[in-house]
Structure 1
């Protein structure tokens, strides 16, 4: 299984995934960081998928910390979901958990 996962990851990095490689998925993760330096966007759901998270590159921005403007870092992150399949409140809770998990790793 580890070998197959390594092979799949290598094909993905080389942008050589076939339709069979991605068949049966229900949720996607997209890294737009390399192509959208400092920008952000929402991913387009692949046919049959119920949702996806897309992230851009970490960017330096001014943030407010304890009432003072200081240098900070922000990760643009979007959630796209099919509202016919996923309730908006459940999607928001999932997104909040993803953000919290990332913040716990960074802080």
Structure 2
């Protein structure tokens, strides 16, 4: 659990950098990235539930928090992979469209 906690602290730092450098500029441009929004929300839920596992009292609350932390922990990599792969596919499409437009305009 010590490694898990240390990794969580490092991930919170990475999350802060990504939120500042990647997510906030897109929010300001009013980009409609549902996978990115879901990813941000899941990271926040994961951080809060991790905090709750240390400090919440009461068996029922702790059990619910533990279940939530596990569920989000397994869901988060899937949403992250979808976000990254979809973004890469969109970038490849734009590159192909741009290359074909350049060939058409130069002919």
Question: Which one has a bigger Cα radius of gyration?
Answer: 2
TM over 0.5: no
Structure that is richer in strand per residue: 1
TM-score grouping bracket, smaller chain normalisation: under 0.3
TM-score, length basis structure 2: 0.27
Structure possessing the higher relative contact order (Cα contacts under 8 Å, 6 or more residues apart): 2
